[in-house]
């Protein structure tokens, strides 16, 4: 059985970007994570130890976002996906989306987003 744990709009004020000003001034970033796993046994027994604790996942993502400055949101999304898969062997597949607001593109837009989808063993 495959189930999905979703984290939506985890927000961070961080200092990622290709331009020096972005890494100095910072900006708003959001992340969505879809964790494909089997939590049927945890649901049956109502036992947090048998599933992936989304509270711990959020804290881990928060730590990763602030550990290092990235030029690309693509790199940040990839790193989050890779590290979560390493930390939680119960993840069968993961999708990570990172959004960046206030992007200096010379026009008006809501945000730019990069998505990484990885499957265990790939």
> Could you give the CA distance from residue 79 to residue 73 in angstroms, rounded to a whole number?
10
Task: For 24, list phi and psi in degrees, rounded to 5.
Answer: -95, -45
> Could you give the CA distance from residue 7 to residue 12 in angstroms, rounded to a whole number?
14
Using only C-alpha atoms, what is the Rg of the chain? 16
> Could you give the CA distance from residue 96 to residue 118 in angstroms, rounded to a whole number?
9
49 is known as an active-site residue: no
Catalytic residue among 45, 87, 100, 118: 100
Task: For 58, list phi and psi in degrees, rounded to 5.
Answer: -60, -45
| Residues forming the active site | 100
């Amino acid at each position: 059985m495959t189930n999905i744990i979703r984290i939506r709009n985890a927000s961070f004020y961080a200092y990622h970007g290709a331009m020096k000003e972005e890494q100095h001034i910072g900006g708003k970033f959001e992340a969505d994570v879809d964790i494909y796993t089997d939590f049927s046994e945890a649901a049956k027994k109502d036992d947090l130890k048998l599933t992936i604790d989304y509270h711990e996942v959020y804290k881990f993502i928060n730590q990763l976002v602030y550990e290092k400055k990235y030029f690309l949101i693509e790199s940040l999304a990839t790193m989050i996906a890779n590290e979560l898969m390493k930390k939680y062997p119960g993840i069968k597949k993961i999708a990570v989306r990172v959004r960046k607001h206030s992007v200096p593109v010379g026009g008006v837009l809501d945000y730019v987003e990069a998505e990484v989808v990885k499957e265990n063993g790939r």
